[in-house]
Amino acid sequence: MPSGRVVVTGVGAVTPLGTGVDVFWPRLLAGESGVAPVTLLDVSEYTTRIAAEVKDFNAEDWLEKKEARRIDRTIALSCAAAAMAMTDCGLKVEGELAYEVGTLIGSGIGGLTTMGDQHTRLVEGGPSKVSPFMVPYMIPDMCSGYASIQHGLKGPNTCVVTACSTGANAIGDAYHIIKRGDAVAMLCGGAEAPINEMGMSGFCSMRAMTTRNDDPQGASRPFDADRDGFIIGEGAAVFMLEDLDFARARGAKIYGEVVGYGMTGDAHHITAPDPEASGAIRAMRKALQHAGLEPSQIGYINAHGTSTPLNDKMETKAIKEVFGDAAHSTPVSSTKSMIGHTLGAAGAIEALICLLAMRDGKLPPTINYTTPDPDCDLDYIPNVARDAQAAYTMSNSYGFGGHNVSLVFRRGSDV
């Protein structure tokens, strides 16, 4: 019988601040920015010409050379993060155990680079020029599919696509799969590689991104009065979740426990958040209810905090409504100020940040916070990381289509 408790035993990450947790985490705490002029494509005609690219990634470090050259970048980033998580957790998947370990790695958009490249081939050369790999490299579920194949995981193999909530939903849904006994362990998370012609032109047309091109490192400024849009980013984070009894029996190290998962719908607009914040409020309350916690017990919130005028105002309102008297004393930060908005990977990367913050007793800052906004008046850990012990943390994620997700984690040393 499953224990009903789910813990994190392995992690892997590829981010604009570095590949691997040991590279990424110190730079994040130091308040470094991964935002710079775009190098992955010619953006001279785009209104936004800066992004948070992964600079130190080589797909051939994780995939066979021929495959690494043709595979979509989203899948490659996911493969790297999944391999790190598998190594980190130390779980040997052999024999019958393979049927009890599954995969749930999502992408908000999927293989957008593949889609764009193959469309160009179609237009310029006709249908015979389209690659037979177009469909499998384009579909978002292939992040899970590749992980299953590479690591021999024959349990539940699925994915979730909920825009910028994808990574958070993947963790929450994997948590429920283990709780109900359909697997003893799940490799889960999110990945995204949207810095290409299709992604950049689409978001530029929406006027959703900052145009602060002359100040890349100061461009993402969540909760600041001068914020003018988000910075697009790329990356991946993958976790091994396990049933607590299973993890203990094999002597696994434990980063933390997933104790709360709330998800709701705005039913408001295809892109804009509900200004009344009702969906975000209900998601946080559901996560706290499932965790059996009072708001005052949360020691840190990793905010969705996109650096857009509407989102940051809405999320602040939601936190104040849910946390009440504790709102102004609860530290909140948006790490998108440093790594940009990695879309479908964001919820997973930010969940990882929550686990590391509890492990090390250090809360990452919101950089570029210089001009207070009367509508955003919480403790955003401005500009400098803070030493603080947090027994519980919360991560918020919101996506186009009105998806709202809140996750709550317990510190590993308390499990």
Question: DSSP E strands: which ranges in 90-246?
Answer: 101-106, 157-158, 185-192, 235-243
Q: What Cα–Cα distance (Å) separates residue 32 from each residue in 184, 292, 347?
A: 38, 36, 20
Which of 143, 164, 188, 204 is catalytic? The answer is 164
Kindly tell me the burial class for residue 2, based on how many C-beta atoms sit within 10 Å of its own C-beta (0-12, 13-18, 19 or more): middle
Residue 304 annotated to the active site: yes
DSSP 47: S
Distance CA(52)–CA(392), nearest Å, equals 29
Closest CA to 235 of 25, 48, 17: 17
The amino acid sitting at 339 is I
State both tokens at 63. 């995939």
Strands 300-302 and 332-333: parallel
CA-based Rg of the chain, rounded to a whole angstrom?
20
* Residue 76: alpha-carbon gap to chain centroid: 16
Residue 159 annotated to the active site: no
Which of 89, 151, 204, 304 is catalytic? The answer is 304
| 278: Cβ contacts below 8 Å, ≥ 6 apart | 266
| 135: Cβ contacts below 8 Å, ≥ 6 apart | none
Residue pair 234/52 in contact (Cβ under 8 Å)? The answer is yes
Cα-based angle 71, 335, 296 (whole degrees, multiple of 5): 130
Count CB atoms within 10 A of the CB of residue 81. 35
State both tokens at 403. 């998806």
Helical pair 346-360 and 21-29, crossing angle rounded to 10 deg: 80
Which of 341, 354, 376, 403 is catalytic? The answer is 341
The amino acid sitting at 229 is G
Active site residues: 164, 304, 341
